[in-house]
Amino acid sequence: MQTFTLTVLAIYSRNPSASAGEITHKIGVPGTMIRQARAYLGSTGYLYKDKEKNWHITDFGFMALQNFDRAVAEENARFLNDAINTAATALNVDRDKITGFYLMDKGMTNDSYIFYCNGKKYIYRRAGQGSEMLVDRYREYANYLVLSGRGISDVVVYHNPIDGTKITEFLEDSKGIDVKNEHHIDQALIALRNLHNADIDSPHDFDFLHTIDYYEEICHNAEVEFFSTYRKYKAHVVNLLNKVEKLNVPKCFCHIDFVPGNCLLDKNGKVVLIDWEYSGRQDPVVDVAMFCISASFTKAQSDRLLRLYFDRKPTMEEYARFYTYIATAGLMWSLWSEYKTANGEVFEGYTERTYNLCKKYSRQADKMFDRIENSKNIN
């Protein structure tokens, strides 16, 4: 049950005669939404109406409220009120035109809500707790500006780089891609190649070492206890990135967070990419590496995806870069997860999994660079 609906239920537990108007005055949410919540509570047996048309909470309703945090509920009601105001202002409509505000997805960085305005569906993105320390919202704002009108990304109707609030048009009949579906993977790679070939003038680079150093700093400030071998593998990653830098690889505008959850398949079978917080100029192979990490691909599956991206057998240098990026990103995301965990959010097994990728693929990258060096000596 949505927290907002429980808030309405809690009000009726104290005041059975409360009208929709009184509740609206109390928590600032439009009366239409109060009536919708009340109708739902009545239809599901949490509330009932007496002969005087007063609403009363049932025993079933009291059970639902037993573990309900009223302070959190009131905070959520304030958020909902502010969100409705923001949406109404952004879309230039009255507040009562905003309806059906409900949580769609509680993500690793952001929370996403669905709402309707004049029959059209939108997504309201709320920055997650602590995300202001992990994500540069001004970078994200600049990224969406250069992507506007290209048909590559979701369509933004409101974006506040100060607090991370974003409203986008809902992509009707869309769905997330299935990493086991070959067609979905093909469409995701088409979208990725289109991005890399779009000749977008990136407003900034994505710097792995800068990001790792920053995440390390905030983890230290949060009194995170690092893995005992962290310094060893960080030094290993730095050495690998220095080797990659000497290859002078051409860079382009990359998504950086190119993961299955950020690939939406529209009704025409085309993949649209969303969530551009980390994007910037980098080696295009980075995006392929990020996908493999998120999809929990094996080495064989990862190697295959790299072949599919290039539509040919990759060179030894391309494999060396690829393994370096999986190792580096593994270290970076493990720090990201450590910080989130220190702030009360737990992603079961994610920290260990990403850190283990750093250990595994740093060795794979070493092997590939050794093969490159040996081939040079033979020639």
248 burial via Cβ count (<10 Å: 0-12, 13-18, 19+): exposed
pLDDT for res 108: 58
Low pLDDT (below 70) residues in the chain: 1-3, 25-30, 67-74, 105-109, 128-132, 379
Give the H/E segment covering residue 167.
strand 166-169
Tell me: the pLDDT tens digits for 265-296? 998 899 999 999 999 999 999 999 999 999 99
| Torsion sign, CA atoms 125, 350, 353, 230 | positive
pLDDT for res 207: 97
Residue 153 CB partners (closer than 8 Å, separation 6+)? 144, 147, 272, 273, 274, 276
Closest CA to 98 of 47, 167, 193: 167
Q: What is the DSSP string of 25-53?
A: HHH---HHHHHHHHHHHHHTTSEEE-TT-
pLDDT for res 27: 66
> What is the rounded (10 degree) CA torsion for 296, 209, 287, 194?
170
Give backbone dihedrals phi and psi of 123, rounded to 5 degrees, phi first: -115, 130
pLDDT for res 25: 66
Joined tokens for residue 306:
């790299």
CATH of domain 176-378: 3.90.1200.10
Centre a 10 Å sphere on the Cβ of residue 72 and count the other Cβ atoms it contains: 12
pLDDT for res 344: 78
pLDDT for res 43: 83
Question: What size, in residues, is the chain?
Answer: 379
Q: In which region does residue 378 sit, left (phi positive, over 0), alpha (psi from -120 to 50) or beta (all else)?
A: alpha
7 burial via Cβ count (<10 Å: 0-12, 13-18, 19+): buried
